[in-house]
Amino acid sequence: PQYVFDFTEGHRDDKDLLGGKGANLAEMTRLGLPVPPGFTISTEACRYYLNTGREPDTMAGEVGANLARLQEKIGKRLGDPEDPLLVSVRSGAKFSMPGMMETVLNVGLTDISVIGLAARSGDERFAWDSYRRLVQMYGKTVLGIDGGHFDERIEARKKARKVDADVDLDVSDMKRLVDEFKDIVLDESGRPFPQDPRQQLDLAVCAVFESWNTERAKLYRRQERIPDDLGTAVNVCAMVFGNLGPDSGTGVAFTRDPATGAQGVYGDYLPNAQGEDVVAGIRNTLSLADLERIDKASYDELLRIMETLERHYLDLCDIEFTIERGKLWMLQTRVGKRTPAAAFRVAAQLVDEGLIDDDEALRRVRGEQLAQLMFPQFDPAAPREVIAAGMAASPGAAVGKAAFDSATAIAWAEAGEDVILVRRETNPDDLGGMVAARGVLTSRGGKTSHAAVVARGMGRTCVVGVEALRVDPRAKAFTTSDGTKVTEGDVISIDGGTGEVFLGEVPVVPSAVVGALQGNDEPVGDRQEVVDAVLRLMRHADARRRLGVLANADTADDARRARSLGAQGIGLCRTEHMFLGPRRKVVERLILARGDDQRAAALDELRPLQRRDFAEILEAMDGLPVTIRLLDPPLHEFLPDLTDLSVRVAVAEATGSPDQDAADLLAEVQRLHEQNPMLGMRGVRLGLMIPELFELQVRAIAEAAVDLKTQGRDPRPEIMVPLVAAVQELESVRDMAEATIGEVVHDAGVELSVPIGTMIELPRAAMTAKQIAEAADFFSFGTNDLTQTTWGFSRDDVEAAFFPKYLERGVFGVSPFESIDAEGVGRLVSIAAWEGKEARPDLKVGICGEHGGDPDSVHFFESIQLDYVSCSPFRIPVARLEAGRARV
């Protein structure tokens, strides 16, 4: 195969072979934009190298041929002593990837060619500055030498010269630095800096190949679920020089503002500098407006090119450019990253500008971005002081007093304080503190660290891996790299959407997007364009989607909120909370009743309460389905705590006043005690053991519905039986329910049909879906429990215990509780849905469980043609958007 491709040979769609950077360099070349000539060594060559430990036999020859062509085009030879061609060697994988080797500039400079370069350019300082950059970058990236060694020498030089900036060092300083840097290379790597230009090039290429497998790159790929076997391409590009004096410079630009999405170009420019200086923040950059003043011609051309790129890529592009003595060169472009607000705004703008259609706009935004916009946010207008930044691990805006251990966090939270728990990293001992805190901040770990996984699971705001923080748990303080010190009790703010950490309290404002989604049309100032864009894309998503979107809501308040956010009913109304609190005692009496009288008394007490519960919810969802799940939790949740009770009985006995009632109760509780309650007496099993419980619920549902009907309302209850494993279980409940509903309806003389269906949350239920469908009007997959029962682990126990390790080892790329495990759990869902519908074509099939609000899961449920997803009220808009996206 061909391993090396000239920039004129590639195409933007060749990312697999040429990497993202290479494909786009080729595309710009094809468009006739001013790209310095060069060539790309393919990912295939890299894969060959990584598999065999050596380059493909034909590669050196191809590199030679391409280099020869490049030399001819430019009219210079690589490293020529008189007039050297210099090149950059740049990594570039299909997906951009931190942790891989970056770029080496000025390859081809040697002790001899630097003199030629000085003579030709007429700028000796420039030539030696370029050389010292080469030795420095080569040492760092190719030879892996700690960059600190080089930085120290530069600092020492500046100090000796009593100057502040690199640009103030003169040619003699640069010469001296080159000597010092070469010594560092020799000392640290044991070999002198290579003086053969082609050898410099070849070694740099191999270093790029090998950087594919650095630990950081591997970790990043596991986290982002990027396959390990793609390899990286290497781009070799003729150098252009931004450091040739004040009429030269380098910059980055965006075709629109990637932070706000505002129209109009945006960028930074640094005169008399080479590429990496802009990012490194060595000097303060100028704006593009400044460039317009400095060099109008280059500025105008840059604008023309940006326009060309936007019209070509039909999207916001980011750009790297360099100006060499008044001549503009393009060094990179790609479709630019952007904030969630900008994503929506830009997508809507592009439709208005006639560049893309509504379907394409929908493809350009993601549910996760919408979710970000729905969190309360730090007031954009408020002043703030960023003291550090890390990885955004779990969204939200949290403000609180810094606490450095779990106990303090818990104590303060109980006293009504807002707390941010600050740790180097968290472990299962920190769980209590994480629950108590508003937010969690760690200095170590990545997106799959314990802190990140657990915080996401609990919905806590979380920022991890803030390397600039030095956390000292003993001193109960942290310091940042700029010297800011925060001690226990100081207020800090953290942004789980951006990863930023602020000193003091930054005011939090409610999300304008949530208000607008709920139909509130008050003006929202500078958020207006974002809000309009969201509403518009939501309308299109609703028009496109096939999946229904329902809510998991247990109270009338939740039901109203869900409805205002677009829920088409309730897919899961849990009833357990209706039996806890003060009512728990009554349930206890029901369970422990001796004789019918006691039982009847307890039931009489509960029935009116239940009826009111259901009436409120049915009223809030008038005209829409409300799927009510009969009581699900294990028995023991309604009984006194075994340990407490044992102590009470023992104490009573020891003090010589035995309590017979308590002793009897204890005996009963012991009898009912379960080793493994989650797999014990719960769900339909409980309903069959204590039939009065389910009967009570069904009667209350029917009565509430009948009442509302008589008042002219349109209640649509559906009854759902939990934890069914066998059709016989469902049939028993169904017989009871139909009889009960029949009685109520008959007495009231109104018409009411109540569908009766089942949760599918046990593998056996999924595998016998055909039979179960005969007795069910609908299936609702309880994917939380189905995940637990399919994997055989309990969420509460495993998430903190070993998920971080599993994620790190790549057992799964994302927690199966966050995103449906399509191959395992998802396969069960798909088989059961299919076979259920085969047995009964009008069977309604949906899912309830947190997966209903997870974007990837929604796409999966669309692909297996479920009828609806049901999720928590706050995720409804996300599910609507993704259900639409799954169809375009």
- Would you name the residues annotated as active-site residues? 450, 848
User: Whose CA is closest to 88, among 245, 288, 240, 307?
Assistant: 240
Q: What are the two backbone dihedrals, phi and then psi, of residue 868, each rounded to the nearest 5 degrees? A: -155, 160
Annotated binding-site residue? 784: yes
The interface with Mg ion within residues 848-887 (CB under 5 A) comprises: none
Compute the least distance from the CB of residue 102 to ligand ADP, in Å: 5
The interface with ligand ADP within residues 102-141 (CB under 6 A) comprises: 102-103, 105
Q: Which is nearer to Mg ion, 785 or 799 (CB)?
A: 785
Q: Which CA distances in Å does 526 have to 261, 273, 446, 529, 764?
A: 12, 36, 34, 7, 54
Q: Which residue from 33, 118, 239, 454 is in contact with ligand ADP, where contact means CB under 6 A?
A: 239
The interface with ligand ADP within residues 257-316 (CB under 6 A) comprises: 275-276
Q: Which does 45 bind (CB under 5 to 8 A by kind): Mg ion, ligand ADP, none?
A: none
Rounded Cα distance between 306 and 775, Å, is: 63
Compute the least distance from the CB of residue 451 to Mg ion, in Å: 28
User: Whose CA is closest to 844, among 736, 768, 760, 727?
Assistant: 760
67 binds ligand ADP (CB under 6 A): no
The 743-782 contact track toward Mg ion, x by CB under 5 A, reads ------------------x--------------------x
Q: Which CA distances in Å does 652 have to 266, 442, 646, 660?
A: 78, 48, 10, 10
Q: Which does 406 bind (CB under 5 to 8 A by kind): Mg ion, ligand ADP, none?
A: none
Q: Which three-class secondary structure state does DSSP give residue 194?
A: coil
231 binds ligand ADP (CB under 6 A): no
DSSP 526-557: GGHHHHHHHHHHHHHHHHH--SEEEEE--SHH
User: Whose CA is closest to 403, among 435, 427, 433?
Assistant: 433
Element (H, E) at 341: helix 340-352
- Cβ–Cβ < 8 Å for 476, 488: yes
For 42-165, list the strands marked E by DSSP.
Answer: 77-78, 84-85, 87-93, 103-107
Q: Which residue from 24, 29, 88, 480 is in contact with ligand ADP, where contact means CB under 6 A?
A: 88
Rounded Cα distance between 396 and 375, Å, is: 6
Compute the least distance from the CB of residue 396 to ligand ADP, in Å: 31
C-beta atoms surrounding 759 within 10 Å: 28
Q: Give, in degrees to the nearest 5, the angle at Cα 650 between 646 and 656.
A: 150
Compute the least distance from the CB of residue 533 to ligand ADP, in Å: 30
The interface with ligand ADP within residues 451-470 (CB under 6 A) comprises: none
Q: Which window, 111-119, 327-335, 548-556, 616-624, contacts Mg ion (CB under 5 A)?
A: 327-335
Q: Which does 785 bind (CB under 5 to 8 A by kind): ligand ADP, Mg ion, none?
A: Mg ion
User: Whose CA is closest to 374, among 566, 224, 138?
Assistant: 566
Annotated binding-site residue? 782: yes
Annotated binding-site residue? 761: yes
Annotated binding-site residue? 490: no
Pairing verdict, β 461-464 and 391-394: antiparallel
Pairing verdict, β 756-760 and 778-782: parallel
DSSP class of 284: P
Q: Which does 620 bind (CB under 5 to 8 A by kind): ligand ADP, Mg ion, none?
A: none
C-beta atoms surrounding 671 within 10 Å: 7
249 binds ligand ADP (CB under 6 A): no
Q: Which is nearer to ligand ADP, 170 or 276 (CB)?
A: 276
Compute the least distance from the CB of residue 874 to Mg ion, in Å: 20
Compute the least distance from the CB of residue 21 to ligand ADP, in Å: 6
Q: Which window, 237-245, 781-789, 801-809, 821-829, contacts ligand ADP (CB under 6 A)?
A: 237-245
Q: Which does 782 bind (CB under 5 to 8 A by kind): ligand ADP, Mg ion, none?
A: Mg ion
Q: What are the two backbone dihedrals, phi and then psi, of residue 185, each rounded to the nearest 5 degrees? A: -60, -45
Q: What are the two backbone dihedrals, phi and then psi, of residue 870, each rounded to the nearest 5 degrees? A: -130, 130
Compute the least distance from the CB of residue 78 to Mg ion, in Å: 22
237 binds ligand ADP (CB under 6 A): yes
Q: Which is nearer to ligand ADP, 97 or 603 (CB)?
A: 97
Pairing verdict, β 377-378 and 508-509: antiparallel
Q: Which is nearer to Mg ion, 62 or 785 (CB)?
A: 785
Q: Which window, 235-243, 380-388, 637-645, 832-840, contacts ligand ADP (CB under 6 A)?
A: 235-243
User: Whose CA is closest to 256, among 334, 348, 318?
Assistant: 318
Q: Which three-class secondary structure state does DSSP give residue 866?
A: coil
Q: Give, in degrees to the nearest 5, the angle at Cα 484 between 482 and 485.
A: 140
DSSP 705-735: HHHHHHTT---EEEEEE-S--SHHHHHHHHH
Q: Which does 240 bind (CB under 5 to 8 A by kind): ligand ADP, Mg ion, none?
A: ligand ADP
Compute the least distance from the CB of residue 114 to ligand ADP, in Å: 17
Q: Which is nearer to ligand ADP, 291 or 759 (CB)?
A: 291
The interface with Mg ion within residues 775-834 (CB under 5 A) comprises: 782, 785
C-beta atoms surrounding 159 within 10 Å: 9
Q: Which window, 329-337, 396-404, 409-417, 673-681, contacts Mg ion (CB under 5 A)?
A: 329-337
DSSP class of 336: P
Count the site residues for ligand ADP by CB under 6 A: 16
Q: Which residue from 223, 235, 332, 788 is in contact with Mg ion, where contact means CB under 5 A?
A: 332
Which tokens in the block code for residue 503?
């000193």
240 binds ligand ADP (CB under 6 A): yes
- Cβ–Cβ < 8 Å for 787, 825: yes
331 binds ligand ADP (CB under 6 A): yes
Annotated binding-site residue? 808: no
Q: Which is nearer to Mg ion, 761 or 862 (CB)?
A: 761
DSSP class of 378: E
Tell me the CA end-to-end span of the chain in Å, nearest whole number: 37
Rounded Cα distance between 862 and 117, Å, is: 62
Compute the least distance from the CB of residue 825 to ligand ADP, in Å: 38
- Cβ–Cβ < 8 Å for 375, 511: yes
For 190-308, list the strands marked E by DSSP.
Answer: 232-238, 249-256, 263-271, 286-287
User: Whose CA is closest to 246, among 164, 128, 325?
Assistant: 325
Q: Which residue from 36, 108, 433, 757 is in contact with ligand ADP, where contact means CB under 6 A?
A: 36
634 binds Mg ion (CB under 5 A): no
Annotated binding-site residue? 66: no
Q: Which window, 97-105, 181-189, 221-229, 791-799, contacts ligand ADP (CB under 6 A)?
A: 97-105
Q: Which does 569 bind (CB under 5 to 8 A by kind): ligand ADP, Mg ion, none?
A: none
Q: Which is nearer to ligand ADP, 90 or 338 (CB)?
A: 90
Q: Which window, 100-108, 131-139, 671-679, 796-804, contacts ligand ADP (CB under 6 A)?
A: 100-108
Contacts of residue 136, Cβ cutoff 8 Å, sequence gap at least 6: 147, 150, 181
Compute the least distance from the CB of residue 321 to ligand ADP, in Å: 7
Compute the least distance from the CB of residue 196 to ligand ADP, in Å: 20
Q: Which is nearer to Mg ion, 332 or 697 (CB)?
A: 332
Q: Which does 454 bind (CB under 5 to 8 A by kind): ligand ADP, Mg ion, none?
A: none
Positions touching ligand ADP (CB under 6 A) are 36, 88, 90, 102-103, 105, 237-240, 275-276, 320, 322, 331-332
Residues contributing to the annotated binding site for substrate = 574, 629, 761, 782-785
Q: Which residues are annotated as a binding site for Mg(2+)?
A: 761, 785
Q: Which residues bind Mg ion (CB under 5 A)?
A: 332, 761, 782, 785
